[in-house]
């Protein structure tokens, strides 16, 4: 078999690529099954500008480096390409590269759409053919996925959400996961699922955050088409899918992107900019136009070929700052002497403009822990252009507060009120993610103080607080039924805990909270603006009681939320009203079905002209211990 001269690249493609503006590179690079001169085969294209030679080796040529040498384009693009007849779908291959320094290198294909099952490291020739049946979902997605719609995200790791009960070491396939995940999400009332990285990665304990195959669905769970099936089944049931995406760093595995053509091609050559000391991984060179094209093409690929509804972009702060996790004297600076990575800033702006400009009804979400301004401001207004940003400050302050023994909470009252002072500076998502239940941080239930009943009561009121605050929501798998162990990626969640009333009660609580959140416009119509929130009292530190109003577009949708964060039952507590009306309790975390003590307010609460909290009218209410109650106008 010979390599025939052929190209999928036009001069315009090359111009876009080298200027950092080609965002569909997956249609050109990689392995493509085509017919040429009447012969079936595969066209290969790879970027290796500093290589001396590039050949394709695989099971079809006995891994012979001399058999199929690719042709280098005569322009300055650095692309090697060619057509090999009779190479069929399922063929296993790598690129054999003679590096800039004469070194012999074997690399997987950066644009491969399938890889061998780890620990094998070769790429696989594959197609992306699939007949999608989610047109109805895509039509309504812009409304369902809008910023004024409810967003309750269930974050999960496919390898450990559930495993094969008959063989706990075996991870489930995408199709097996679909059979149990879709009905579970429907039953629990989450609106979105977020899949921790499902791009191919070699080291299982990295959870998917050390990617080698950016364009390939992990073969641990099946084929690309089987992942498409999982996403389609979720869409058919009106469940949106967010994918974790990692453009911040990649591992140094020999078959991956690192040192690709014998030079620092994808990573920055200056290791102050190109190496991440915490993760022992390599940082993309965002100053390089071709690297930005690669990454943005990858983002659009998952939206295009897999119909993803959003991307949660990992570790944005590590991209934005050269001194992230480095001592100042060990950090690089930009051309103006500052710590901002200007190439990364440009990349993120281009990314968000490309995503929102090409796909209707999608969202990008930044996992960003710094105070960088304007993360969710539009690019045209000087921002980075994300749809949402994780509210890490809220998460840290909230968990610090709840870890306190209730007797001491009055001394930390401000930890729950402070976040509102900046809650509307960005479009925030409130997260309790996988990061909070690993590495000795303990499970959510064991962060809570007190005896068993108090731990569960604390966690119920914590979730109610989370879902009645401004912002969208994210909860990691297992948190919804109070998983007792820290998350273990090697094993299934402890589903057997649902045999026990406290855990079953917690699951019922989260189900009810999701129903409340998605059915009450006041909790989502103004998620990101001041007009949706108002304190009734933020000052009752002695009783550790917080009372606030959530407002929708219509006055009749107004809710009053009351939190009691001590185990003391407060009877006949006076609450100032936003306006004169009858009020009815519509939700109470102390209900017996939730494993609470059952101290409910079952009667309609009548307004009285007694001044309280600076308001003319008030009601008397019984506030259960360690509980949240929600009131709405009633008859």
Instruction: State residue 329's pLDDT score.
Output: 84
Instruction: Return the closest-CA partner of residue 310 out of 466, 145, 490, 431.
Output: 145
Residue at a domain's end among 458, 493, 523? 523
**What angle, 0 to 180 degrees and rounded to 10, lies between the N-to-C axes of helices 501-519 and 452-468?**
10
Strand pairing partners for 546? Answer: 563
Active site annotation includes 314: yes
Distance CA 548, CA 158 (A): 38
Residues facing residue 95 across a β-bridge: 56, 107
Is 421 a domain residue? yes
- The rounded distance, in Å, linking the Cα atoms of 181 and 440 is 28
Same-domain status, 515 and 552 = no
CATH number, position 258: 3.20.20.80
In a domain, 301, yes or no: yes
Is 179 inside any structural domain? no
Residue with tokens 């409810």: 150
- Among 314, 480, 525, 590, the one annotated catalytic: 314
- Count helices and strands in the chain by DSSP H and E runs: 13, 27
Write down the H helix ranges in 243-341: 271-274, 289-304, 316-320
DSSP-derived secondary structure for 124-183? E----------HHHHHHHHHHTSTTS--EEEEE-TTTSSB-TT-TTSBPPHHHHHHHHHH
pLDDT value of position 320? 96
Q: Is residue 190 part of a domain?
A: no
Q: Where are the beta strands (DSSP E) in 440-517?
A: 472-476
Same domain, residue pair 513 and 535: no
Domain boundary among 480, 495, 523: 523
Cβ atoms < 10 Å from Cβ of 545 = 21
Q: Which domain holds residue 471?
A: 162-171+197-523
H-helix or E-strand spanning residue 633: strand 627-633
C-beta separation of 594 from 505 below 8 A = yes
pLDDT of residue 1: 62
Residues 437 and 535 in one domain: no
Helices 174-188 & 224-236 angle (0-180, nearest 10): 20
Q: ω before 473 within 30° of 0 (cis)?
A: no
CA distances from 377 to 390, 494, 525 (A): 14, 40, 19
Do 514 and 620 reside in the same domain of the chain? no
Let me know: does 377 contact 386? Beta carbons within 8 Å.
Answer: no
Please tell me the predicted confidence (pLDDT) of residue 189: 98
Helical H runs in 489-584?
A: 501-519
Rounded-to-integer distance, Cα 281 and Cα 302, Å? 23
Dihedral sign, CA of 215, 219, 221, 223? positive
Q: Is residue 457 part of a domain?
A: yes
Determine contact, residues 359/379, Cβ cutoff 8 Å: no
Predicted confidence at residue 568, as pLDDT, reads 96
Rounded to 10 degrees, the C-alpha dihedral 591/595/599/605 comes to -20
From the candidates 13, 116, 309, 367, give the one annotated as an active-site residue.
367
My answer on whether 515 and 614 are in the same domain is no
Residue 376, pLDDT score: 98
Whole-number Å distance between alpha carbons of 89 and 84: 12
Helix axes 174-188 and 501-519, enclosed angle (nearest 10): 70
Instruction: Provide CB contacts within 8 A for 396, sequence distance 6+.
Output: none
Does residue 149 form part of some domain? no
What pLDDT score does 278 carry? 87
Give the residue carrying structure tokens 């402070």.
418
In a domain, 138, yes or no: no
Known catalytic residue at 367: yes
Name the residue with tokens 């190109």. 274
Same domain for 390 and 253, yes or no, is yes
Q: Are residues 499 and 551 in the same domain?
A: no
Q: What is the DSSP letter of 271?
A: H
User: Shortest CA distance to 234 belongs to which of 152, 196, 177?
Assistant: 177
Number of other residues whose CB lies within 10 A of the CB of residue 44:
27
Residue 216 in 3-state DSSP? Answer: strand
Which value, in Å, is the radius of gyration of the alpha carbons in the chain? 27
Q: How big is the CA angle at 250 (ends 246 and 253), to the nearest 5 degrees?
A: 145
**What is the number of structural domains in the chain?**
3
Closest CA to 307 of 448, 442, 132: 132
Domain assignment present for 142: no
Kindly report the CATH number assigned to the domain that includes residue 599: 2.60.40.1180
Q: What is the CATH number of the domain that holds 37?
A: 2.60.40.10
| pLDDT < 70 regions, the chain | 1
- Asked if residue 350 and residue 275 are part of one domain, the reply reads yes
pLDDT for position 325: 87
Q: Read off φ and ψ for residue 219, nearest 5 degrees.
A: -70, -10
Closest C-alpha to 502, from 402, 564, 593, 432? 593
Terminal-residue alpha carbon distance, the chain? 82
- Give yes or no: residues 392 and 512 share one domain: yes
- Are both 601 and 483 inside the same structural domain? no
Query: Of 474, 493, 523, which one is at a domain's C-terminal end?
Result: 523
- CA angle at residue 48 from 45 to 51, to 5 degrees? 125
Residue 347: what are its φ and ψ, rounded to 5°? -60, -50
The reply to whether 497 and 534 lie within a common domain is no
558 shares a domain with 487: no
Give the residue from 477, 312, 299 showing the smallest Cα distance to 389: 312
DSSP state of 403: H
How many whole angstroms separate alpha carbon 290 and alpha carbon 46?
12
């Amino acid at each position: 078999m010979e390599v025939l001269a052929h190209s999928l690249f036009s001069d315009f493609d090359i111009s876009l690529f080298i200027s950092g503006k080609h965002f569909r590179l997956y249609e050109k690079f990689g392995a493509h099954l085509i017919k040429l001169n009447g012969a079936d085969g595969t066209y290969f294209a790879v970027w290796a500008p500093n290589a001396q030679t590039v050949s394709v080796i695989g099971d079809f040529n006995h891994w012979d480096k001399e058999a199929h040498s690719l042709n280098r384009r005569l322009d300055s693009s650095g692309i090697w390409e060619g057509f090999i007849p009779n190479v069929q779908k399922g063929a296993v291959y790598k690129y054999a590269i003679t590096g800039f320094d004469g070194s012999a290198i074997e690399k997987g294909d950066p644009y491969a759409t399938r890889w061998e099952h780890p620990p094998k490291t070769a790429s696989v020739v594959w197609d992306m053919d699939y007949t999608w049946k989610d047109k109805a979902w895509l039509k309504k997605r812009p409304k369902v996925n809008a910023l004024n719609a409810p967003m309750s995200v269930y974050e999960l790791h496919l390898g450990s959400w559930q495993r094969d009960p008959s063989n706990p070491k075996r991870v489930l396939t995408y199709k097996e996961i679909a059979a149990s995940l879709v009905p579970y999400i429907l039953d629990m009332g989450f609106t979105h699922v977020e899949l921790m990285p499902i791009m191919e990665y070699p080291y299982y304990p990295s959870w998917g955050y050390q990617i080698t195959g950016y364009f390939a669905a992990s073969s641990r769970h099946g084929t690309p088409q089987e992942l498409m099936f999982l996403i389609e089944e979720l869409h058919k049931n009106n469940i949106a899918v967010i994918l974790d995406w990692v453009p911040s760093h990649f591992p140094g595995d020999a078959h991956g992107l690192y040192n690709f053509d014998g030079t620092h091609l994808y990573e920055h050559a200056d290791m102050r900019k190109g190496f991440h000391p915490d993760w022992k991984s390599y940082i993309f060179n965002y100053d390089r136009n071709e690297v930005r094209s690669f990454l943005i093409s990858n983002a659009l690929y998952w939206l295009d070929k897999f119909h993803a509804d959003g991307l949660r972009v990992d570790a944005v702060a590590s991209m934005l700052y050269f001194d992230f996790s480095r001592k100042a004297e060990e950090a690089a600076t930009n051309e103006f002497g500052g710590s901002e990575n200007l190439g990364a800033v440009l990349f993120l702006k281009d990314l968000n403009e490309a995503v929102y400009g090409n796909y209707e009804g999608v969202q990008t979400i930044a996992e960003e822990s710094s105070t960088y301004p304007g993360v969710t401001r539009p690019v045209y207004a000087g921002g980075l252009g994300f749809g949402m940003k994780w509210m890490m400050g809220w998460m840290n302050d909230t968990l610090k507060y709840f870890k306190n023994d209730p007797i001491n909470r009055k001394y930390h009252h401000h930890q729950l009120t402070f976040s509102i002072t900046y809650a509307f500076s960005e479009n925030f998502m409130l997260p309790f993610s996988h990061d909070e239940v690993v590495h000795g941080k303990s499970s959510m239930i064991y962060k809570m103080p007190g005896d068993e009943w108090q731990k569960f009561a604390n966690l119920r009121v914590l979730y109610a607080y989370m879902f009645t605050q401004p912002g969208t929501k994210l909860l990691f798998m297992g948190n919804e039924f109070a998983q007792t162990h820290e998350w273990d990626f090697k094993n299934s969640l402890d589903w057997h805990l649902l045999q026990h009333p406290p855990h079953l009660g917690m699951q019922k609580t989260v189900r009810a909270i999701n129903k409340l959140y998605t059915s009450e416009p006041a909790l989502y119509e103004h998620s990101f603006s001041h007009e949706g929130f108002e304190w009734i009292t933020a000052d009752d530190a002695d009783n550790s009681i917080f009372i606030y109003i959530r407002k929708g577009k219509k006055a009749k949708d107004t809710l009053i939320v009351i939190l009691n964060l001590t185990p003391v039952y407060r009877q006949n507590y006076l609450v100032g009203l936003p306006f004169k009306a009858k009020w009815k309790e519509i939700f109470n975390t102390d209900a017996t079905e939730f494993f609470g003590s059952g101290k409910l307010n079952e009667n309609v609460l009548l307004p009285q002209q007694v001044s309280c909290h600076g308001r003319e009218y008030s009601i008397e209410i019984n506030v259960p211990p360690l509980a949240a109650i929600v009131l709405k106008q009633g008859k």
